[in-house]
Amino acid sequence: MQYRTLGRTGLKVSEIGFGGEWLERHEKEESVELMRYAAGKGINIIDCWMPDPKSRDIIGEAMEGNREHWLVQGHIGSTWQNGQYVRTRDLDQVVPAFEDLLRRLRTDYIDLGMIHYVDSEEDWEKAMNSPYIEYVKELHAKGIIRHIGMSTHNPVMGKRAVETGLVEMILFSINPAFDMRPATDDLDSMFTGYEDTSYAGIDEERASFYRLCEEKNVGLTVMKGFFGGRLFDKERSPFGVAFTAPQLIHYALTRPAVCSILCGYDTKEQVDAAVAYETATDDEKDYASVIANAPLHSYAGQCTYCGHCKPCPMDIDIAMVNKFYDLAKAQPEVPQSVKEHYRDLSVHASDCIGCESCESRCPFGVKVAERMTRTAELFGF
């Protein structure tokens, strides 16, 4: 298992994580064993947005005696009222729900205290301009939550969170289909309307959100990476082609600032299939060719940092250079942090000999040699 540093938190999270929302679908003992099996495979981050007692009890029992192994995303504002989930900022409900989370998880702290599900301006006002956020800050000051995160499906709200400086990481929905769609506060609309073929490539609002997170060192964890399973099915995929799990995992992990993709599991075999990403070949991870050859929604001309351009005769990490170029171009002036990261590369854009062999391998027709020239001019080397 490979591990990545989750932004400013400094926490080392497994690239493959555990999305816990399916745990309650099975007998308690079965789900406890599934979590322990995942831990044995090196998975160390789990998201618990679920307020239902069964899910929380399962996670608590599975972590018993092994709490230090797990990094928990615990959501503040996800409550259980009259036998159903209710999202709220009302402290009369929020406080007992969070205390229930600690009790059922058999812990006295949560690694990543998540400001739960902020997708709209109205959500933002309720969360950020109320006693709710003071409660979150109080939990953080006391060390009951070690780091403050937020969950959202809307890149506009994600950017607002990053700019506060309060949020250290964000749980965000990422897959090739979602990335084409403009920002919205209506999550349900993200699953429909793909017959409109005007969508093409990564929406700039989402791309700029990823770049901002990378620049500000706000780590991303990923939900909905498989588009509810629809991307596995040619008939239901908005691209008209089917993807595999390694391809979708690789897509998420190649977005700027992404550290872990949280997959849902019903069986040990599904855990094995996700973890197999770590030993998959480049061909098995190749999502770019699938998108490029799809009958719908081309990403033509856009670098997706897929790495298809390798190998370079000068050993330039072209995908990383392109990533730093995009990060720098998004700002009026090149941020010093981006310049330093670029400087740390062993080979730079100025070393490009213009052979264009990379361009023949790029599925999206990116003019790589031209970008190398522009990058060298922008950074000065």
Tell me the domain boundaries of the chain: 3-292, 318-379
> Using a CB cutoff of 8 Å and minimum separation of 24, what contacts does 133-142 make?
135/76, 135/91, 135/94, 135/95, 136/76, 137/166, 139/76, 139/98, 139/113, 140/113
**CA–CA gap between residue 299 and residue 201 (Å, rounded):** 4
Do the Cβ atoms of 292 and 193 come closer than 8 Å?
Answer: no
- Give the pLDDT confidence score for residue 59 in this predicted structure: 97
- Give the pLDDT confidence score for residue 205 in this predicted structure: 92
Q: Global pTM?
A: 0.88
DSSP β-bridge partners for residue 173: 223
- Give the pLDDT confidence score for residue 298 in this predicted structure: 63
- C-alpha angle 345/213/151, rounded to 5°? 145
Do the Cβ atoms of 18 and 265 come closer than 8 Å?
Answer: yes
- Give the pLDDT confidence score for residue 336 in this predicted structure: 81
Q: Are strands 71-76 and 45-48 parallel, antiparallel or unpaired?
A: parallel
* Token output for 331: 């700002």
Do the Cβ atoms of 43 and 18 come closer than 8 Å?
Answer: yes
3-292: in CATH 3.20.20.100 = yes
* Token output for 170: 């964000």
The half-sphere exposure of 98 on its side-chain side, counting CA atoms within 13 A, is 28
Q: Name the nearest CA neighbour of 327 among 203, 183, 217.
A: 217
Q: Name the nearest CA neighbour of 236 among 191, 281, 293, 200.
A: 191
- Give the pLDDT confidence score for residue 89 in this predicted structure: 96
**Which one-letter DSSP state was computed for residue 226?**
T
| Residue 87 exposed, middle or buried by CB count within 10 Å (0-12, 13-18, 19+) | middle
- Give the pLDDT confidence score for residue 199 in this predicted structure: 62
Query: Would you write out the chain's pLDDT as a tens digit for each of its 381 residues?
Result: 999 999 999 999 999 999 988 888 889 999 999 999 999 999 999 999 999 999 999 999 999 999 999 999 999 999 999 999 999 999 999 999 999 999 999 999 999 999 999 999 999 999 999 999 999 999 999 999 999 999 999 999 999 999 999 999 999 999 998 898 888 888 777 777 666 656 667 888 999 999 999 989 999 999 999 988 889 998 888 888 899 999 999 999 999 999 999 999 999 999 999 999 999 999 999 998 888 878 766 677 778 888 888 889 999 999 889 888 888 877 778 888 788 888 889 999 999 999 998 988 888 888 999 999 999 999 999
- Taking only Cα atoms into account, the Rg of the chain, rounded to an integer number of angstroms, comes to 21
